[in-house]
Copies of this chain bind each other. A is one copy, B any other.
Amino acid sequence: MNARVIPIVPDTGTAYGRPAPTSRSELTQVGAGTPMGELLRRYWHPIGLAGDANATPRKVRVLGEDLILFRDGQGRPGLVYPHCSHRGASLYYGKVEERGIRCCYHGWLFDVQGHCMEQPCEPEGGRARAAARQPWYPVQELYGLVWAYLGPPDKKPVLPRYECLEVLDEGEFLEADDASIGGGGPQVIPCNWLQHYENLVDPFHVVVLHSSFSGTQFVPEMAVMPQVQWDTTEISVRTLSQRKLPDGRNFRRISEAGLPTLRVIPSPRVGRMGRVESLGWVLPIDDHSFRIYVVGRVLEKGELHKMRSRPDGKKLWEELTEAEHQQYPGDYEAMVSQGAVAKHSEEHLASTDKGIVMLRRLLQQQLEAVRNGKDPAGVSFDPDAAPVKFSAGNWME
C-alpha cells in the first residue's frame, strides 16, 4: 500500500470546545435583592411622562417589577403593586377616584400611599382595613417626568435637580420625551441596560458604527478620529474627545455617564455648541430590556422627538427592512446583537475600551459601598443641595 503521506496541520482558533460564555451578573441584574438591583434602588428613576399618570391605570415595569401608575382626583400621582391586597385582582382594572384607586372586584379603595380607605362590602366599611395596606412606592414629579423610588424607605434620598435643566438660556424651555432617544431603535430595547450605559463611554464606535460603517448617522465632524481621555469624577465617568477638523478648528467634546444611569451626552448632531442641553436616564425595565427618558432645553416644541434615529439618514428605525437593518446598523443593532445580556467572558477589551473598564469600576465601588452599609455616590439627603452639575458639552475652538 502506497498511501500518500499528508502533513497534518490542525486548524487553530476554531470555535470547537470553547467554554460556555458567562455574564457579569452583579453588574447587569436589576431585580430586588440582587447587588445591582439594590444599588439602583437607592436612586430615583423616571418611570413615565407626567401625562402618563392620569385617570386610566397604566402598567409600568421597572427594575423587574410590574406596577400600576395613576393619578387621583386630587392630582396626586400614585404607583402601586398591581395585585389588590384583598384577593389579587389587578388595579389595572381599577377606577381612579378623588381619593385613590378602587379595585374592580370588591371595590376596596386605596390612596396613593396604599392606605385602604374603604371596603364597601365589609361591615362599617371594614374595621380591619388598616391591615390591608396596598404595597406602593413614593413618586414625585419634576421636569415633566414622574419619578419613583423603589428602595429602602429609610434610605430615600432627595430627588436631585440638575444645573443644566435649571438654568435656561434666552428662549429655552424644558421638554420631556419617552421615545428612547439615543437608543437607536424603538421605545423598548430588548437587551440589558448596561449594554447601553457602557456605550456612553465609548466614543470610538461613533467613528465606525455611526460614520464609516453606516454612513453619516450624526454629522461629518464626528467621523474624524478623536484623541480621547477619560477620567472618573465622583458621580460619573467623563470622556473628553478632541478632534482636529480638516478646516483647522479643534472640536472638543465632553460626555459623561452619570450615576446611576445618566446619559450626559451633548448632541451628537452638534446642533449647538456649549454646555450639554439634555439629560437622559436609562430605565432598566428588567434584566433583558430597557428604555430611555430624556429631558432637554429646547427652543421649539417637539425638538427632542425629532432627534430619533434615522439609521440610513432617512427612515425611522421601525421603517427599515431587515436588509436595511443589516446595511445601516446603529446602536440598536450593535447593542441588541450582543445578546439579551452581553457575554462578558468572551470580550477582548482594548485600549479604546478604557472608559468601559472605568465605568464598571465606578459601579463596583458603589456596589461595595452599599454592601458595606454606606450610601452610593450621587445620593443626597439635603433638600437644599445645589443642583448637580456636569461638565459635558461641545466646543469648537
Q: Which residues of A contact B (CB under 8 A)?
A: 3-4, 6, 8, 10-18, 21, 32, 41, 56-57, 65, 67, 80-83, 85-90, 92-93, 95, 102, 104-107, 113-115, 119-123, 126, 128, 131-138, 150-154, 156, 204-205, 207-209, 212-214, 225, 323, 325-326, 329, 333-335, 337-339, 342-343, 346-353, 381-384
State how many angstroms separate the Cβ of A117 from the closest Cβ of chain B. Answer: 13
State how many angstroms separate the Cβ of A124 from the closest Cβ of chain B. Answer: 10
Q: List 8 A-B contacts (CB under 8 A).
A: A11-B138, A13-B115, A21-B83, A85-B347, A88-B343, A90-B337, A106-B204, A107-B213
State how many angstroms separate the Cβ of A340 from the closest Cβ of chain B. Answer: 11
B153 x A11 contact (CB < 8 A):
yes
B347 x A88 contact (CB < 8 A):
yes
A154 x B8 contact (CB < 8 A):
yes
B13 x A88 contact (CB < 8 A):
no
State how many angstroms separate the Cβ of A155 from the closest Cβ of chain B. Answer: 9
Residues of B within 8 A of A383 (CB): 4, 6
B8 x A87 contact (CB < 8 A):
no
State how many angstroms separate the Cβ of A207 from the closest Cβ of chain B. Answer: 6
Taking A14-B136, A16-B41 as known contacts, 19 extra A-B pairs with beta carbons closer than 8 A to each other, sorted by chain A number, are A10-B153, A13-B134, A15-B80, A15-B135, A15-B150, A16-B153, A89-B334, A89-B337, A89-B338, A92-B337, A93-B326, A104-B214, A106-B205, A106-B208, A106-B352, A107-B212, A121-B207, A122-B351, A123-B351
A93 x B346 contact (CB < 8 A):
no
A95 x B213 contact (CB < 8 A):
yes
A104 x B350 contact (CB < 8 A):
no
Q: Knowing A119-B350, A213-B104 touch, does A384 contact B87 (C-beta < 8 A)?
A: no
The 6 A-B pairs at the shortest CB distance, nearest first, are namely: A90-B337, A15-B135, A10-B153, A107-B208, A121-B204, A93-B329
How far apart sit A16 and B349, CA to CA, in the bound complex (Å)?
A: 37
B114 x A150 contact (CB < 8 A):
no
Which of B13, B323, B343 is the one whose CB lies under 8 Å from A83? B343
Residues of B within 8 A of A10 (CB): 153-154, 156
Q: Knowing A4-B384, A128-B350 touch, does A209 contact B337 (C-beta < 8 A)?
A: no
State how many angstroms separate the Cβ of A40 from the closest Cβ of chain B. Answer: 12
A85 x B346 contact (CB < 8 A):
yes
How far apart sit A153 and B115, CA to CA, in the bound complex (Å)?
A: 53
A225 x B15 contact (CB < 8 A):
no
State how many angstroms separate the Cβ of A135 from the closest Cβ of chain B. Answer: 3
Q: Which residue of B lies closest to A132 (CB)?
A: B348
Residues of B within 8 A of A154 (CB): 8, 10
B205 x A18 contact (CB < 8 A):
no
Which of B105, B151, B347 is the one whose CB lies under 8 Å from A86? B347
A114 x B13 contact (CB < 8 A):
yes
